[in-house]
Structure 1
């Protein structure tokens, strides 16, 4: 999968979870489990409107 597909898939998954369960979720994506956990915490604090954050560049990793 390329980067755009990951974010698009995560956004669709988030919408589907909200639709079926009514539970709002945030999704963090990273190259490793630790980066994904940091991305998830980052999206909760910095980007609650999108609720999907992909740590794909060194700049995003450094600022998180």
Structure 2
């Protein structure tokens, strides 16, 4: 069932160190992009909650 490209248990695939550096840069860029997106989403939620609180203060719920 092994294909030719598969490694056996005792084999180690050699990886070019330059490729590792490129992968590290790609991963760092992706992490930074996700952090920016996460921070923007948190900011958006905070802004929405702030507006909800402002609207509640302007239009309080009627007494029962």
TM-score interval, smaller chain? 0.3 to 0.5
Give the alignment's TM-score, normalised by structure 2: 0.32
Structure 1 or 2, whichever has the larger Rg, is: 2
- Of Structure 1 and Structure 2, the greater strand share is in 1
- Of structures 1 and 2, the one scoring higher in RCO (CA 8 A, sep 6+) is 1
- Of Structure 1 and Structure 2, the greater helix share is in 2
Give the alignment's TM-score, normalised by structure 1: 0.32
